[in-house]
Amino acid sequence: EKRNLILSFESSCDETSVAVIENGDTILSNVVATQIKSHQRFGGVVPEVASRHHIEVVTRCFEAALAEANVTYDDLDAVAVTYGPGLVGALLVGVSAAKTLAYVHHLPLIPVNHMMGHIYAARFVQPIEFPAMALLVSGGHTELVYMPAENQFEIIGETRDDAAGEAYDKIGRVMGISYPAGGPVDQLAHTGQDTFHFPRAMDNEANFDFSFSGLKSAFINTVHHADQIGESLNQADLAASFQAAVVDVLVDKTSRALKKYPVKQLILAGGVAANRGLRDRLTQMMAQFQSTDLVLAPLKLCGDNGAMIGAAGYVRYQHGDFGDASLNAEPSLEF
Ligand code: KG4
Ligand code: ZN
């Protein structure tokens, strides 16, 4: 039986990544070049710096991805690429590279939504069964996505202000933790207690939306007030209190969504899906939904990567959702 091989590109933010994916569920290679160090001294991702880095490494990335997978252009069936949402200059690097390779090697081009990519990281754990729900938590997005069938997406709830990962990065900055702060704050949280009882915004409202800017402000005010009066706060307790507030709201809203939308699977994906506290609490909560499987995106595939774009790209390929030379980057692309 012929295998389907997709070369897939991801460059929406601060990771340049190219993968070769077989039949949408097997990783032959997944090369990830991160630029985090270049952005750390600025405390966040600088778009112009990101674009330049992508340009510098993208050629080496796809050459390495093909070499590691031990395939040539003749073996490929398609080229997939993230075309949004993300930073326009960063996206354009992947889009230009993918378009060029598709044109030169006469391969179909598959435009992929970055958020659909995050969901399909779950595909490397087990096949997705529909209807499904995804809790998508990243640096730019926090949303609950209902999927009635393959390739169909309906956002039933989303953040009204900051994304969860963005809130982690901002409070991390106040704690003197360098970007991206999610991982270190998560680790610190496990050594502390929820002693500050920060607000759980919108937790009791009858919708599936989120808000994290009030929590962020409460956190920053607490730290500044302590600074002013010369009091030193327990860092582990601060981290634990912040994380408890974030996780409480994410888990409560997801539980409420599952009651209204019974599904076969709940998928947790996106950069913040690597959060140990969130993975643990969601796993406990899911015990009450006996007929819904919890699929946690693999830890290594929670952050941005080309593999997830190849998995989503395979679904688009099967549905004939192709692009052409006019494909452009769409920074605010929605489902
Ligand atoms: O999905 P991603 O790699 O990029 C976007 O598409 O935004 O997500 C990056 C975000 C950052 O805000 C980072 O702080 C957060 O994911 N993150 C975490 C953890 N690991 C990464 N947040 C909480 N806990 C973690 N363990
Ligand atoms: Zn992402």
Q: Is 165 annotated as a binding residue?
A: no
208 and 68 belong to one structural domain: no
262 shares a domain with 143: yes
> 173-181 contacts: CB < 8 A, separation 24 or more?
173/43, 174/219, 174/220, 174/223, 175/223, 175/235, 175/238, 175/239, 178/40, 178/43, 179/36, 179/39, 179/40, 179/43, 179/44, 179/45, 180/36, 180/139, 180/271
Residues 141 and 109 grouped into a single domain: no
User: Is residue 86 classed as helix, strand or coil in its secondary structure?
Assistant: coil
* Rounded average pLDDT over 93-120: 98
Band of the pLDDT at 38, cuts 50, 70, 90? confident
Q: What is the pLDDT of residue 131?
A: 98
Three-state secondary structure of 242-255: HHHHHHHHHHHHHH
The position carrying tokens 């692009």 is 323
Ligand 1 lined by 172 (C-beta under 6 Å): no
DSSP 115-170: HHHHHHGGGGTS---SSEEEEEE-SS-EEEEEESSTT--EEEEEBSS--HHHHHHH
69 and 190 fall within a common domain: no
Q: Is the Cβ atom of 218 under 6 angstroms away from ligand 1?
A: no
Range of the domain at 194: 127-296
Cα-to-centroid distance, 230 and ligand 1 (Å): 32
Tally of domains within the chain:
2
Say whether 138 counts as a known binding-site residue.
yes
Cβ 138 under 6 angstroms from ligand 1: yes
The helix (run of H) or strand (run of E) holding residue 28 is: strand 26-34
Report the C-alpha gap between 293 and 30 in whole angstroms. 27
Q: Is residue 335 part of a domain?
A: no
* Mean pLDDT calculated for residue range 288-308: 98
DSSP run (H or E) holding 22? strand 15-22
For tokens 């549905």, the residue is 319
- The whole-angstrom separation of Cα 228 and Cα 258 is 44
Do both 252 and 267 map to the same domain? yes
Closest CA to 94 of 130, 72, 65, 135: 65
**Calculated CA dihedral for residues 98, 104, 106, 111, nearest 10 degrees:** 10
Is the shortest distance between the CB of 271 and ligand 1 below 6 Å?
A: yes
- Pocket mutation for ligand 1, best pick of 174, 272, 309 (most atoms within 8 Å of C-beta): 272
In a domain, 20, yes or no: yes
DSSP code at position 323? B
Q: Is 75 known as a binding-site position?
A: no
Q: Check residue 43 and give its pLDDT.
A: 86
Strand partners, 82: 112
Same domain? 43 vs 173: no
Closest CA to 254 of 240, 266, 241: 266
Q: Who's near 255: CB < 8 A, 6+ residues apart?
A: 285, 288
Q: Which ligand is nearest to the CA of 186?
A: 1
User: Does residue 77 carry a pLDDT above 90?
Assistant: yes
Question: What separation in Å is there between the alpha carbon of 13 and the centre of ligand 2?
Answer: 8
CA 96 to ligand 1 center in whole angstroms: 26
Strand partners, 269: 136
Measured in angstroms, how far is the CA atom of residue 74 from the centroid of ligand 2? 30
Residue 204 confidence class, pLDDT cut points 50, 70, 90? confident
Dist. CA 186 → ligand 1 center (Å): 11
The pLDDT tens digits of the residues spanning 160-178 come to: 999 999 999 999 999 999 9
DSSP label at residue 210: B
In a domain, 325, yes or no: no
Q: Indicate if ligand 1 lies below 6 Å from the C-beta of 189.
A: no
Please say whether the beta carbons of 119 and 152 come within 8 A.
no
CA-118 nearest atom, ligand 1:
1
Q: Is the pLDDT of residue 281 over 80?
A: yes
Tens digits of per-residue pLDDT, 205-240? 889 999 999 999 999 999 999 999 999 999 999 999
CATH of the domain at 49: 3.30.420.40
29 with 156, same domain: the answer is no
Q: Is 84 helix (H, G, I), strand (E, B) or coil?
A: strand
CA-based nearest residue to 11, from 100, 109, 114: 114
Q: Binding site annotation covers 186?
A: yes
Q: Is the dihedral of CA 184, 187, 193, 197 positive or negative?
A: positive
Q: Are residues 195 and 228 in the same domain?
A: yes
pLDDT-derived band at 42 (thresholds 50, 70, 90) equals confident
ipTM associated with this complex? 0.99
Residue 171, exposed/middle/buried by CB under 10 A (0-12, 13-18, 19+)?
Answer: buried
Answer whether 303 contacts ligand 1 (Cβ < 6 A).
yes
DSSP state of 296: E
Ligand 1 centroid–CA 183 distance in Å is 8
Question: For ligand 1, what atom is nearest to the CA of residue 12?
Answer: 6
Position 323 in a domain: no
The yes-or-no verdict on residue 135 having pLDDT over 80 is: yes
| Domain match, 34 and 14 both | yes
For the segment 178-205, the average pLDDT, to the nearest whole number, is: 96
Q: Which mutation among 91, 168, 185, 276 tests ligand 1's pocket best, with the greatest number of atoms within 8 A of CB?
A: 168
Do 136 and 283 belong to one domain?
yes
Do 220 and 162 lie in one domain? The reply is: yes
Residues in the chain, how many?
335
272 lines ligand 1 (CB under 6 A): yes
Check: pTM over 0.90? Answer yes or no.
yes
**138 and 239 assigned to the same domain:** yes
